Homo-oligomer: A and B are copies of this chain.
């Protein structure tokens, strides 16, 4: 189980990625089902892959909060997206935030499962980038993460900062805050 602050960080990451999925659905003028599909795929995609590879129970199958969050965001975004004028800018900012949160979470969970340093770093980056990759591939956009090195770099730095601090004996909670803030 995750401690409460990490649980909130996790839920926040899912929410932010779900929002970027909904923004792409909005840009492509999809209907409500399209919003829900893209928001959910983007929101839980990275974490699903992480859990499959580490042999854990997939997180959203035992806690419905994650799926309900994705659905709620899709519905809100569907009816309110005309309010957001500059969708692409919002997408970039949200992506960077989600990447940092997810990079930390992925590295944290991998470390807890006894993964080595490189494996934990790779899991952090993978968890952070996979949801957005699915979003861009499925909606036939250019894969953002490969265009804008900034974002993968952000995830990598967050994961490394977290891992570095943890190895130095800093309690995970503070390390997680530091990693996300960076």
Residues of chain A at the chain B interface (Cβ within 8 Å): 28, 30-34, 37-38, 40, 48, 52-55, 57-58, 60-61, 64, 67-68, 71, 110, 115-119, 122, 125, 129, 133, 137-140, 142-143, 145-146, 149, 152-153, 156
A125 contact set on B, CB distance < 8 A: 37
Q: Which of B30, B68, B71, B143 contacts A146 (CB 8 A)?
A: B30
With contacts A52-B53, A58-B53, A60-B119 taken as known, whether A34 is within 8 angstroms of B149 at the C-beta atoms is: yes
Q: For the complex, what is the distance from the CA of A53 to the CA of B156, rounded to whole Å?
A: 26
21 intermolecular pairs with C-beta atoms under 8 Å apart: A30-B149, A33-B149, A33-B153, A34-B152, A37-B152, A52-B53, A53-B58, A53-B61, A55-B57, A60-B119, A61-B115, A61-B119, A64-B116, A64-B119, A67-B119, A67-B122, A68-B118, A71-B118, A133-B138, A138-B143, A140-B143
Judge whether B33 and A156 touch: CB under 8 Å.
Answer: yes
Interface contact B67-A152, CB-CB below 8 Å: no
Note all chain B residues with C-beta closer than 8 A to A67: 118-119, 122
A33 → chain B, closest Cβ, in Å? 4
Interface of A (DSSP majority class): helix
